Structure 1
């Protein structure tokens, strides 16, 4: 849990509340102090003020993203800044809460942010696992995989690739073995999951 607020009393109050709820908290009285830190690789979220003198919350959110921070953000603000709230949500903030905010409301927003972070990490882990499985295919096995996923017969794939049907049959078997699938529908589902997660062909990277 990371908290950024230039108001010392608010910062102390948030620290106490999150500690009481069992969260490990790292707080920053100035945005530049957080930017000086290496991105935290573990789970978490960031609770930050919108209006700060050095960098406002939106600027800090963008600078953190550029630096490699991927944690969800919950904004709090003492000003009725509707345009700022809209921009914050468009930039991916989980919530935008006006000060003074009740502990119940803030903790609910934090739980939502942590759930989003967990879901994002699970999706990233699945994407990486899928990429690793498909990266074991050779370029020609990848071509065969695509052909199989399109519903082509071995002889049709062979004609497209300019190779023998027996070769395609052998390569098809290797594709199924490397991806640990036993049927064409299973292969198609796996390929769909890869593309929906990453939107890229592993062989093009």
Structure 2
């Protein structure tokens, strides 16, 4: 069983059934909903999931659903839009709203599988980055105030001599702090330490 769920939202029963069979046959955890309203009222708890939604549905349209989901979950739930009435303006509108793929009916089953696998890869990459950022922030929290000062200075590109002048300590003392913080951060080189600093300073991921 694949690690991420795929949620299908389509008011066409035959289409829902066909996509469930297709995805489950490929080992995906797939679940179907009869409408956008049904999905939103029974919103799954998964942190990351791939969404396949029809665009033209009664009550709440697929476009409205895309906008709602982007506000609720952002890139953690990549969305594939499916429609039997595709046009250029609709595709552009959906892409601007945050859809990662746009597929017209009728479609080749391999096209759906390719799109879902792309979503899964996107989620896997985002999750790996989130995990690395969490680990980096946890390590940063173990630094003493002075070690954090040296860390911040190193990230800014300052040399040991410049850091020593700024902090009014000896270059040898800077070297000691640098060695300690490199060990605590589990960084094997200065470039790796810089990447950690950039990762910790970045905004939310997925």
TM-score range, shorter chain: 0.7 to 0.9
Q: 1:31 aligns with which of 27, 36, 47?
A: 36
Q: Name the count of aligned residue pairs.
A: 194
- What's the offset of the Cα at 1:22? 2.7
- Work out whether residues 39 and 67 of structure 1, in 8 Å CA contact, stay in contact via their aligned partners in 2: no
Point out where structure 1 has 5 or more consecutive residues left out of the alignment.
201-205
Q: 1:9 aligns with which of 9, 14, 18?
A: 14
Distance in 1 separating the partners of 2:176 and 2:159: 15
Hey, what does 2:130 align to over in structure 1?
A: 124
Aligned CA RMSD, in angstroms, stands at 2.4
Residues 98-117 of structure 1: per-residue CA shift (max 9 Å, x gap): 11112121112112111212
Summarize the alignment of residues 194-205 of structure 1 with structure 2, pairs less than 5 Å apart: 194-196=197-199, 198-199=201-202
| Distance change in 2, residues 1:66/1:88 (3 Å) | same
Partner of 1:160: 166
- Please tell me whether residue 192 in structure 1 is matched to residue 195 in structure 2: yes
CA shift for structure 1 position 197: 6.8
TM-score, normalising length: structure 1:
0.81
Equivalent-residue separation in structure 2 for 1:19 and 1:180 (angstroms): 41
1:131, 1:194 within 8 Å by CA — same for their partners in 2?
Answer: no
Task: State whether residues 123 and 197 of structure 1, in contact with CA within 8 Å, keep that contact through their aligned partners in structure 2.
Answer: no
CA 181–10 in structure 1, closer or farther in 2 if over 3 Å, else same:
closer
Q: Give 2:23's match in structure 1, choosing from 15, 18, 23.
A: 18
Provide the rounded CA distance (Å) in 2 between the counterparts of 1:101 and 1:8.
16
TM-score by length of 2: 0.81
- 5 Å-filtered alignment, 1:52-91, equals 52-68=57-73, 70-91=76-97
Residue 181 to residue 99, structure 1, CA distance change in 2 (3 Å): closer
How far the C-alpha of 1:147 sits from its partner, in A, is 2.2
How far apart, in 1, do the equivalents of 2:178 and 2:27 lie? Answer: 53
Distance 1:14 1:167 in 2: 64
Aligned residue for 1:100? 106
Contact persistence 2:12–2:34 (CA under 8 A): yes
The change in CA–CA distance for 1:6 and 1:197 in structure 2 (over 3 A counts) is farther
Unaligned runs of 5+ in 2: 1-5
